[in-house]
Amino acid sequence: MTADLRPSPGFPRVRLRRLRRTDGLRRLCDQPMPGPTRFVWPAFVLAGDGRREPIPSMPGQFRAGSDVLLRDLEPLAVAGVGGVLLFGLPDDAARDAEGSAAWAEDGVVPRAVARIRRAFPDLLVFTDVCLCAYTRHGHCGPLAADGTVDNDAAIERLGRVAAAHAAAGAHVVAPSAMMDGQVAAIRAALDAARLPDTAIMSYSTKFASSLYGPFRDAARSAPQSGDRRGYQCSPADPRLALRESALDEAEGADILMVKPGLFYLDILARLRDRTDLPLAVYNVSGEYAMLVAAADRGWGDLRGMARESVLALRRAGADILISYWANRYDELLRD
């Protein structure tokens, strides 16, 4: 009887620890930590100069006037961080039912964009395109008579906002309102303004998540009544959530996004398999705050947790990481 000389499929011939035995072997086989060029830092811009306000629910983050923001962007530019995503925070007196301050040519965001482009010509500038921080009621568009957001009125105004940001020099506009048809309306508005080269990064699959609390504290953008479940994706309906991104791609989005990230890695991975567009993920405020709070209580190492969370997002398929870790890249993520 001939002996079976085929290699054994398992232990003791196969010892997977061989490739984990030393730092050098692990480095040889591991996927690398995403470099700083993959990161975009979300920044909250206040009206007026000389202002800086810490955000208690997001230690290490702050609201700042655009002049102060320039000082804080300098180390990010030196570190090689890919870009900044601007959220404008107007004074309360500027808010109205329409959100009209959002598309003012001399508004909070256009002014900040122009300053950043002059100071850091190589830094990519993204702008959030929404109305929630500019309306008195805190919703993402003007309200209809029944109190719901008027979708078609909203997308016309979002087009105006995007055009104002692009005219100021934004490289990428990022609609986050989750209105049907918003990408097509913004592309039409940009083309009409002769700004066809401005890219659109759509918040294409954005969930009605419980993880936005610290952001709403930072942006002072919580709705005064009701909620946003009527226009943001349900966490329990993944198929409809994926259709949102497919429609935005068909309307002309240049980059798609999943938001939040860590609770939706399955959606991120499924979307990666369905599109060849660059794919962003928003590592949201609640995800950031949870890890910071755990580390503050001695329940985990912040550097280790931050790095592991970023690797999870990258493994699931993200090309672009919109993350509050970005302004702490050298401290927490650089090898």
What's the rounded Cα separation, in Å, for the pair 249 and 235? 21
- Active-site hit among 115, 165, 187, 206: 206
Of 172, 143, 174, whose CA–CA distance to 158 is shortest?
Answer: 174
Give, in degrees to the nearest 5, the angle at Cα 187 between 186 and 193: 90
The span from the CA of 34 to the CA of 320, in Å, is 9
Residues 300-334 as b/e (b if ≥16 CB within 10 A, e otherwise) read eebeebbbebbbbbbebbbebbbbbbbbbbeebbe
Q: How many CB atoms lie within 10 A of CB 53?
A: 14
The partner residues of 256 in beta bridges, in order of sequence, read: 279
- In the block, tokens 């329990």 appear at 236
Angle between helices 151-168 and 108-119 (to 10 degrees): 30
| Nearest in space to 86 (alpha carbons), one of 212, 177, 173, 202 | 173
- Is 206 designated active site? yes
Q: Is-catalytic flag, 259?
A: yes
Q: 3-class DSSP state for residue 77?
A: helix
Catalytic residue among 115, 139, 259, 270: 259
* Catalytic residue set: 206, 259
